[in-house]
A = this chain, B = another copy of it.
Amino acid sequence: MNASTKAYEELLIRLKNTALLASCSAVLEWDEQTYLPPEGAEHRANQLALLAGMVHEQATNPEIGNLLLELESNSSSIDDVFEQANIREARHEYDRATKLPRRLVEELSRVATLSHHAWVQARKNNRFKDFLPWLEQMIDLKREQASATGYQGKNAYDALLDEYEPGATSEMIEQAFIPLRNELVSLVSAIKNSGVTPDTSILTRKYPVEKQREFSVSAAEAIGFRFDAGRLDIAAHPFCSGIGPGDCRLTTRYDEHHFPGAFFGTLHEAGHGIYEQGLCKEHFGTPLGSSTSLGIHESQSRMWENLVGRSHAFWDYFYRPAQKLFPEALGNVDQGAFYRAINDVRPSFIRVEADEVTYNLHIMLRFELEKALISGDLKPADLEAAWNEIFFEYFGITPDTSANGCLQDVHWSAGLIGYFPTYALGNMYAAQFFIAAEKELGDLSQLIARGEFVPLKEWLNQNIHQRGKLFRANRLVEVVAGESLSHEPLIAQLQNKYSELYNL
């Protein structure tokens, strides 16, 4: 074994051990959201803080830096593209972790906790100004974080974006967002003026929770989520946690009088879960065994939720079982009416309740604002006015309250700045991947209508999941879809689908 091989193996052992320890935290975090008794919250916080400290210590161990230097100095002798990718991304993660001074990490964590509490109260009381001092502190800290980690080009925002979408830049995102926005604003306006208004009241009839669970599980299983290597539980805020090989957990929440919430929520989380379950077990804990980026992750959840789950073909297969399980709610409803109801498009205030078309506008609004906050072009004190102004421009309505406006999301209070765009990137990537899959597999709607989900799932496994971080997201989409990030497939898909639905 030569020195490089030895250094590479030592590096992998360190990365895998750190990931193994971090995966213990993941179990405790899942448990915190699902089964933790209320009185156990304080002890759980102590446990998680201890593990976080230990993980950080391992991830920033100078020995990793030494191993990376050794490998980089011999990089000409490493001709394996997989090894190259592991080294490249290990360096990226090590630099991110070590460049932040400990004081800043602790300050960010402390302010995030306090700021989150302040946000909860401010939203409850509908008072933006109660949250403002915390937002100001948080923006200052995030700007400091951006300087510490550094960035190419002129946008400090890119340094934050990089945490969630490695290698992405605001310029690249803007190139897709600007035309996407123009097209979406026209489409929303055309839909609004179409005079067609689906009857959505059928979705708020009585759907017994136990039956909702049964139906959600059967659909998640059908599209390929493995319940022998995963679970579905209840949590207030739905999420997917890929704990480790063979253990991926979804959560959802049920409302007896709202069918889409739990059902499409479960499909969405199952999409994330299929990605996690599709990662290479033998690479667990290394970049090659980890998901590419949040944007790519979101492309998987959105594809199963929207491109598959809200398609006409999907309900060709699933509508009969749905009627059988919910005879009271759907017995006298024909499939067409149901299909129109689950694809109702209308401007609304709340992002997480938005339809497939307007959703992306909610994201672009946030992207514009957080970029301006980080560059300094927008003062936190002016955020609410700016929010309402752009909201009117995009949607033609103005939020009636702060809670329905700029106070609605948890992200900024928790320091998650640069996270929002990954949701819309996911929608664009999903449409690009879907076309690429059809090129190979033929008309997917025919397969979907027969309940044949395996070909698409396996295509995603091979082309996306099993590659881990071999490529960055922007390169992955080129390799898989033969083109770089583009808004066109998404717009084409939406125009096509909604022209038919709204007689445009």
Q: List the interface of chain A (C-beta within 8 A of B).
A: 17, 20-21, 23-24, 27-28, 31, 35-44, 46-47, 50-51, 54, 226-231, 233, 243-248, 284
Contact = CB atoms under 8 A, between A and B. Distances in A.
A248 B37 CA distance: 8
Nearest to A231: B37
Contacts of A17: 50
B40 A245 contact: yes
B21 A50 contact: yes
Given A20-B47, A20-B50, A21-B50, A247 B39 contact: yes
A210 B427 CA distance: 43
Contact of A37 (B39, B42, B227): B227
A43 B229 CA distance: 11
A246 B42 contact: yes
Contacts of A36: 247
A28 B24 contact: yes
A246 B27 contact: no
A226 B38 CA distance: 11
B43 A23 contact: yes
Contacts of A50: 17, 20-21, 24
A42 B20 CA distance: 12
A27 to B, nearest CB: 6
A230 B37 CA distance: 6
Given A42-B246, A243-B40, A47 B24 contact: yes
Closest 3 CB pairs of A and B: A40-B247, A39-B246, A39-B229
A305 B266 CA distance: 42
B244 A47 contact: yes
Contacts of A227: 37
B246 A41 contact: yes
Nearest to A246: B39
Contacts of A226: 39
Nearest to A17: B50
- How many chain copies? 2
A39 B227 CA distance: 9
Interface of A (DSSP majority class)? helix
A247 B20 contact: no
A281 to B, nearest CB: 9
A28 to B, nearest CB: 6
Contacts of A230: 37
Given A35-B231, A37-B248, 7 more contacts: A20-B50, A21-B50, A24-B51, A27-B47, A37-B227, A43-B284, A44-B247
Contacts of A21: 50
Contacts of A38: 228-229, 246
Nearest to A248: B37
A33 to B, nearest CB: 13
B23 A47 contact: yes
B46 A20 contact: yes
Given A35-B231, A37-B229, A246-B37, A24 B24 contact: yes
A377 to B, nearest CB: 45
A425 B284 CA distance: 47
20 contacts: A17-B50, A24-B47, A27-B28, A27-B47, A31-B31, A35-B233, A37-B246, A38-B228, A38-B229, A39-B245, A39-B246, A39-B247, A40-B244, A40-B246, A40-B247, A43-B245, A43-B247, A44-B247, A46-B244, A54-B54
A382 to B, nearest CB: 43
A22 to B, nearest CB: 10
Nearest to A226: B39
A43 B228 contact: no
A86 B284 CA distance: 42
Contacts of A284: 43
Nearest to A16: B46
A310 to B, nearest CB: 28
Given A28-B27, A50-B20, A37 B228 contact: yes
Contacts of A47: 20, 23-24, 27, 244
A4 to B, nearest CB: 27
A17 B134 CA distance: 32
A283 to B, nearest CB: 13
A248 B20 CA distance: 25
A241 B9 CA distance: 38
Nearest to A277: B39
